[in-house]
A and B are shown apart, each in its own frame.
Chain A
Amino acid sequence: MPGMASPALSVRDLQKAYAGKAVVDGLSFEVAAGSCFGLLGPNGAGKTTTLRLCLGLTGADSGTIRLAGEPVPARARQARQRVGVVPQFDNLDPDFTATENLLVFARYFGLDRDAVAERVPALLDFAGLGNKGDARITALSGGMRRRLTLARALIADPEIIVLDEPTTGLDPQARHLIWERLKQLKAAGKTLLLTTHFMDEAERLCDQLIVIDHGRKIAEGSPRQLIAERIEPQVIEVYDESGGDLPGFIATRRGLAERVEVSGETAFFYCREPESLLAALAAQRGLRYIHRASNLEDVFIQLTGRELRD
């Protein structure tokens, strides 16, 4: 293993345009070895392109990348030897069983059957697929496939694991299981680099994260740090239940919060001292409200806006 001081991934001034349109626009960041790093951003922000650049799957227009100590793309093969990838869309081999999928994948890393055969049962257990070794991929649920893809990424015992939206499309149980496994991997000293647009996922897993939009970094820090620095600690979401005159309420009570945002039928009151607003709401008929602590999603929306991205 390289010294702890050298980052698992460092990206400097990365630039990539498609047909003259910048997709990654001067991006720089570092992923500390042994940490979980989040790459966040709305759809089309450049997350997947950034990952592809880091893996040497496409060339940058300019900038430098070092992955696992190797310059990319010059020595991308050597870097990928020490990296496991969980892609956004499952691409397991449908004609093979779960075990065969792992064995075939090991060969791509130059490991033969004997070298990995003893690791396979442990990997299947880790993925919660201990009794599914002989199952066809088509017989596995979406959550099982995702876990098998994770096990496949671990076949060559990588130092770094890259995950592109690892829990998209999974039910809550399946997501929680994936999160548990990722925490275990981090505890075992692996570096995790993940993209996600689930803010609760990033808040739970990431030590450090960056938010990118239009290929540019717009915020960086730990989830807690970002919430503390970027936004008021409490939110009260207010919406009209039955003729409660929300616009009137906002007009008269705006001053009780640091900041008010209206999105569709809901008003978001961001505040430090919520008591007087809560008292006002208690006295108001027809309005319904939720009082909660601010989270990373509030930060994200403040940074990237409420408009839909397609």
Chain B
Amino acid sequence: MKRKTLASRYRWLGWLPVWQRNFGVWRKLALTSMLGNLADPVIYMLGLGYGLGSLMPDIGGQPYLAFLAAGTVAASTMNAATFESLYNAFSRMHVQKSWDAILNTPLGLADVLGGELVWAASKAVLSGSAILLVITLIGLVHDPLALWVLPCLLLIGLAFAALGLIWTALAPSFDFFMYFFTLFVTPMTLISGVFFPTDALPGWLAGIGAALPLAQGVALVRPLLAGQVPPDIALHVGLLLLTTALGFAVALRLTTRRLLK
């Protein structure tokens, strides 16, 4: 009777059943969740891009709409991963106690958090891809090099999912998440070259922005969408991977302290 799943044969796949659980729930509510993920950023992008863009000169040889589109892809991916790893993960951990239920099975907390990490990144890829599709449909993408944006979306998603899980491990209630946006996400979005080039900022502020994880994503996505190979690929990819690894390690430690005390 006992046919084994992949995850039970390979220990490192322990996160997969947790991912499958989240996917199973999402599938039931997919349409509404997709529309929500897509509508807001697209409206902003088109509104600002066409409206503001008509007043603006080209930036780095591209129209403002194209410049903004690349920033929007990266920022939306970040937002999707952040939202999932904050609100939804917290709801599963704290309100529904789904994590407690899973911890009573052979799976461990690393499997639970791993599943949440990859799940939040998966949703982020989906969000980013949807915007990418819209951009392609309105004729802003001309080069197949743009397909390389997809793995970049995964890296951005993983990095911000890991950071979100840290904040979730510390959260006493849903209200706590507002600070993550006010203190971290919003300022970072403004100094990472999403809406405007950072050379408009004071040098020290631009320097901080360039070191933050969102800027790595923008630095990869923007050239790829313009049909160019990004400079310093290894640096940007490396920083995103490092953010993921360190973030996940810290989140695992903090969540262990919270749940397995």
For the A-B complex, the count of residue pairs with Cβ-Cβ distances under 8 Å equals 79
Contacts of B261 in A (CB 8 A): 18, 58
Q: Which of B1, B100, B106 is in CB contact (< 8 Å) with A80?
A: B106
A residues 60-108 near B (Cβ < 8 Å) are 77-78, 80-81, 85, 87, 89, 91-96, 100, 104-105, 107-108
- Whether B24 pairs with A104 at a CB distance below 8 angstroms is yes
Is A139's CB within 8 Å of the partner chain B?
A: no
Contacts of A59 in B (CB 8 A): 260
Q: How far is the CB of B258 from chain A (nearest CB, A)?
A: 12
- Whether A94 pairs with B96 at a CB distance below 8 angstroms is yes
Q: How far is the CB of A158 from chain B (nearest CB, A)?
A: 10
Contacts of B28 in A (CB 8 A): 95
- Whether B106 pairs with A91 at a CB distance below 8 angstroms is no
Is B142's CB within 8 Å of the partner chain A?
A: no
Known: A114-B3, A115-B2. A105 touches B105 (CB 8 A): yes
Stretch in B4-12, B42-50, B162-170, B228-236 touching the partner: B4-12
Q: Which of B20, B100, B108 is in CB contact (< 8 Å) with A87?
A: B100
Q: How far is the CA of A133 from the CA of B96 in the complex (A)?
A: 20
Q: How far is the CB of B261 from chain A (nearest CB, A)?
A: 6
Q: How far is the CA of A105 from the CA of B20 in the complex (A)?
A: 11
Is A198's CB within 8 Å of the partner chain B?
A: no
Is B21's CB within 8 Å of the partner chain A?
A: yes
Task: Considering the complex, give the chain B residue whose CB is closest to the CB of A93.
Answer: B98
Q: Which of B9, B25, B97, B108 is in CB contact (< 8 Å) with A96?
A: B25
Known: A93-B101, A110-B106, A111-B8. 4 other contacts (CB 8 A): A95-B25, A105-B101, A108-B105, A110-B5
Which residues of A are interface residues toward B (Cβ below 8 A)? Answer: 18, 55, 57-59, 77-78, 80-81, 85, 87, 89, 91-96, 100, 104-105, 107-112, 114-115, 119
Q: 22 interchain pairs (CB within 8 A)?
A: A18-B261, A55-B104, A59-B260, A77-B108, A81-B106, A87-B101, A87-B104, A91-B96, A91-B101, A93-B21, A95-B29, A107-B21, A108-B17, A108-B102, A109-B8, A110-B4, A110-B5, A110-B7, A110-B8, A112-B3, A112-B5, A115-B2
